[in-house]
Amino acid sequence: MIPKSHIRVQSIDEKAIAKLAESILSAGLLVRIIVRPVSNGRYELVDGERRLHAFESLYEKEGRKWIGIPAIVEEMMPKEAVRRQVVINENRQDLTPFEKAKGYKLAWDTGYFKSDEFVNTLTEYHKRH
């Protein structure tokens, strides 16, 4: 799997990852990660970075070989992956302003931020919150 090449979380709260891993251990992975196929049988993470870290930590803790994580595979263009990541990150409360700004810059660089649809998406989000 290829990590998110678009918007990566800079700071991972290890305590929160450990708590999420405990939850996954007791209840299972309730929400699958989302990936998109990129090339040669490889996938790029679109949503679920913390779930991925928590799942990996369970294997490391038990000394088991990593075999994978249940995922939803969706065909999407890179521009759509960026849009989803920015919108998902708007709902996160633990991202720093710098991390959100990086997402906006990436959306700008890919041309998506210039579209009315993207601006409307952010405007609607901020009206609701």
Taking only the tens place, the pLDDT of each residue in 21-67 is: 999 989 999 999 999 999 888 999 999 988 998 988 888 877 777 77
Residue 17's contacts (CB-CB under 8 Å, 6 or more residues apart) are 50, 53, 54, 57
> Domain limits at 40?
14-128
Total number of domains constituting the chain: 1
pLDDT confidence of 12, banded at 50, 70, 90? confident
CATH number of the structural domain spanning residue 96: 3.90.1530.30
Is position 98 within any domain?
Answer: yes
pLDDT confidence of 70, banded at 50, 70, 90? very high
pLDDT confidence of 107, banded at 50, 70, 90? confident
Is position 46 within any domain?
Answer: yes
Rounded CA separation 54/25 (Å): 10
CB atoms within 10 A of CB 57: 18
Phi and psi based region of residue 50 (left: phi greater than 0; alpha: psi -120 to 50; beta: remaining):
alpha
Going by the DSSP 8-state scheme, the letter that residue 31 receives in this structure is: S
Is position 107 within any domain?
Answer: yes
Helix (H) or strand (E) holding 45: strand 42-47
Q: Which amino acid is located at 113 in the chain? A: F
Is position 6 within any domain?
Answer: no
Rounded CA separation 19/114 (Å): 39
As given in the structure block, the two tokens for residue 63 are 């000394």
pTM over 0.85: no
Residue 9 has pLDDT above 60, yes or no: no
Is position 9 within any domain?
Answer: no
Is position 64 within any domain?
Answer: yes
Rounded CA separation 87/83 (Å): 6
